[in-house]
């Protein structure tokens, strides 16, 4: 549990927990063809499902305070102002990269945790979008032991820990990961593109000059080197 977001909602106080996830996703590889563990280190399909189920049993245990009877009646918590308030913890989001999301949502790592876009259509624009996943249906299908139907949608045939949480739609947990999605993804791609563009028009030196002369303001460290020469 990395951070807690709190806000007041009259007359009750709600506390929303954001979990920062960083976990071993080895078991998420269970949808891959069965290979010899001795030769490849990849778990067989059954071993992968068992490992993932164990992970979700641990999740279920850890998330117990968000699913037990007291989460309905409220937990008394001491606040920074020393007052005791009634809190209703909710799982709000789970910051994770795609591999970790595959584990958390118990899906195959080559599938989207939010929609059921076909593998070959990923990355392609769609006017209509793709149907969103229905965990309510997955619960029913799991209880009917219909592993084949789950597998067709890239869903693991395990008892998902997120299903134990009241009024939670697992799709709502997915958020952009600032580090991997924005800073190391969009930002890096964008700035590389801009630099190529400026070099092409012989304006890169002007860009460097402006970059190094950005004025200071609270929370901002003044840059002394051009962006190009800073590796991280």
| Contact set with Zn ion (CB under 5 A) | 112, 114-115, 117
CA–CA separation, 98 and 109 (whole Å) = 8
- Minimum distance from CB of 105 to Zn ion (Å)? 11
Nearer to Zn ion, 35 or 117 (CB): 117
* Shortest distance in whole angstroms from residue 117 CB to Zn ion: 5
CA atoms within a 13 Å half-sphere pointing along the CA-CB vector of 198: 15
Query: Which residues 6+ apart lie within 8 Å of 6 measured at CB?
Result: 13, 14, 15, 16
Nearer to Zn ion, 28 or 71 (CB): 28
Q: Which of residues 56 and 111 has its CB atom nearest to Zn ion in the complex?
A: 111
Here the tokens at position 95 are 């910051």
Least distance from Zn ion to the Cβ atom of residue 124, Å? 12
In the complex, the smallest distance separating the C-beta of residue 133 from Zn ion, rounded to whole angstroms, is 8
Q: Nearer to Zn ion by C-beta: 114 or 204?
A: 114
Task: Locate 12 and state its tokens.
Answer: 């009750």
Instruction: For Zn ion, give the closer residue by CB, 98 or 228.
Output: 98
Asked if 98 contacts 25 with a C-beta cutoff of 8 angstroms, the reply is: no
* Dist. CA 138–CA 147, nearest whole Å: 10
Nearest distance from C-beta of residue 116 to Zn ion, angstroms: 8
For residue 64, give the nearest of 82, 84, 89 by alpha carbon. Answer: 89
Non-local CB neighbours of 46 within 8 Å, separated by 6+ positions: none
């Amino acid at each position: 549990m990395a951070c807690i977001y709190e806000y007041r909602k009259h007359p009750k106080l709600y506390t929303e927990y954001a979990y920062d996830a960083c976990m071993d996703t080895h078991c998420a590889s269970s949808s891959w063809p069965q290979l010899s563990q001795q030769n490849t280190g990849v778990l067989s399909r059954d071993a992968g499902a068992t490992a993932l189920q164990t992970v979700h049993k641990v999740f279920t245990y850890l998330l117990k305070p968000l699913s037990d009877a007291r989460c309905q009646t409220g937990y008394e918590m001491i606040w920074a102002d020393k007052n005791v308030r009634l809190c209703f913890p909710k799982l709000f989001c789970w910051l994770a990269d795609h591999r970790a999301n595959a584990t958390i949502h118990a899906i195959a790592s080559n599938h989207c945790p939010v929609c059921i876009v076909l593998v070959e259509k990923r990355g392609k624009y769609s006017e209509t979008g793709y149907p969103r996943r229905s965990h309510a249906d997955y619960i029913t299908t799991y209880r009917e032991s219909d592993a084949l139907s789950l597998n067709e949608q890239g869903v693991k045939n395990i008892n998902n820990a997120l299903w134990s949480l009241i009024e939670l739609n697992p799709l709502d947990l997915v958020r952009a990961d600032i580090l991997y999605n924005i800073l190391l993804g969009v930002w890096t791609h964008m700035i590389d593109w801009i630099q190529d563009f400026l070099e092409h028009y012989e304006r890169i030196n002007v860009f460097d000059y402006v970059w190094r002369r950005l004025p200071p303001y609270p929370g901002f460290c003044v840059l002394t080197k051009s962006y190009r020469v800073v590796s991280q």
